[in-house]
Structure 1
């Protein structure tokens, strides 16, 4: 069954170069924090890479999205099997904020605990608005994280990414039509 995202699960483009996506998760901020900083947990939903617990430390993120996909879900043509990105931790405020230098911008993970749930806000700056695959990527990775934390069926990454990329393209086209 294909899961349809609710409107509040979609990433938004702000200021032309900043992606913001939010998701609620069950449990504590400390529990969710481990999925951000522990390489073994992070690789289950996003990217591998040993992270030091301090700002100013180097980090290499390693994506192996085929490991997040089923055998009947091949990666799109032209996409490599492994991607690496040298980076740097620029803020490490456990369990509230993690910021990482990311290409020409940065990615900030903010966690706010409310009762028995945690709101995760990801802010990715320095984007080119044409990079719609990044929107679909964050959305797909968060869907996998949600399933991992809830113990439910994990969506296959590339099937989800392809569907969401098409949805984001349609949403962007509709937004441009409204503003024209």
Structure 2
């Protein structure tokens, strides 16, 4: 069975490659903002534990990812509760939230890539992470982003490669 791919590979206006995902959650924007900025909420779906100093230029400490060493990043932009962007491992992550009618929120994640050949790898990883966030947003329990063999990462990766998304970058924990 082919993976249901939800990401889009694109080139930003400034020429940088990116992958983008969008979801709509049945929560007010303030609740979705917690999913994106609170370390305890992030732990349910983000690949690393992220402790954020929530101010432009603030430090983010990443730890706990079994496939990556501990690292730090910098907050690039913050407009609570609508936008957070930060550096992570040479990439940039942009979280944009838009309040919709009926206490719903559109969540958009844009991963600005340091190298185009990471698009399929990162896209597959975000599929797994966002599936964990979707589960959390529904109020259900999830095994989280490191669900091991039960995570469909490889299926998503192969789907992105078959769709012609740039690939070939090493995979942490596998290469």
TM-score bin, normalised by smaller chain: 0.7 to 0.9
Quick one: which of 86, 93, 97 aligns to 1:100?
A: 86
Call closer, same or farther: CA 1:157–1:118 in 2, change over 3 Å: farther
Q: How does 1:89-168 map to 2 (within 5 A)?
A: 89-115=75-101, 116-131=103-118, 132-152=120-140, 154=142, 156=147, 159-168=151-160
Q: How does 1:9-158 map to 2 (within 5 A)?
A: 9-15=6-12, 17-46=17-46, 47-64=48-65, 80=67, 82-115=68-101, 116-131=103-118, 132-152=120-140, 154=142, 156=147
Report which of the two has the higher share of helix.
1
For 1:4 and 1:172, locate their aligned partners in 2 and report how far apart those are by CA, in whole Å: 14
For 1:12 and 1:21, locate their aligned partners in 2 and report how far apart those are by CA, in whole Å: 9
Runs (5+) with no aligned partner, structure 1: 66-79, 174-180
TM-score, with normalisation over the residues of structure 2? 0.77
2:71 is paired with a residue whose SS is strand
2:50 is paired with a residue whose SS is coil
1:61 is paired with a residue whose SS is strand
Call closer, same or farther: CA 1:4–1:136 in 2, change over 3 Å: closer
Residues 140 and 157 of structure 1 are in contact (CA less than 8 Å); yes or no, is this contact kept in structure 2? no
- Give the CA deviation at 1:3: 9.6
- Give the CA deviation at 1:53: 2.2
2:171 aligned partner:
none
For 1:123 and 1:146, locate their aligned partners in 2 and report how far apart those are by CA, in whole Å: 17
| CA shift digits 1:60-80 (9 cap, x unpaired) | 122536xxxxxxxxxxxxxx3
Call closer, same or farther: CA 1:118–1:134 in 2, change over 3 Å: same
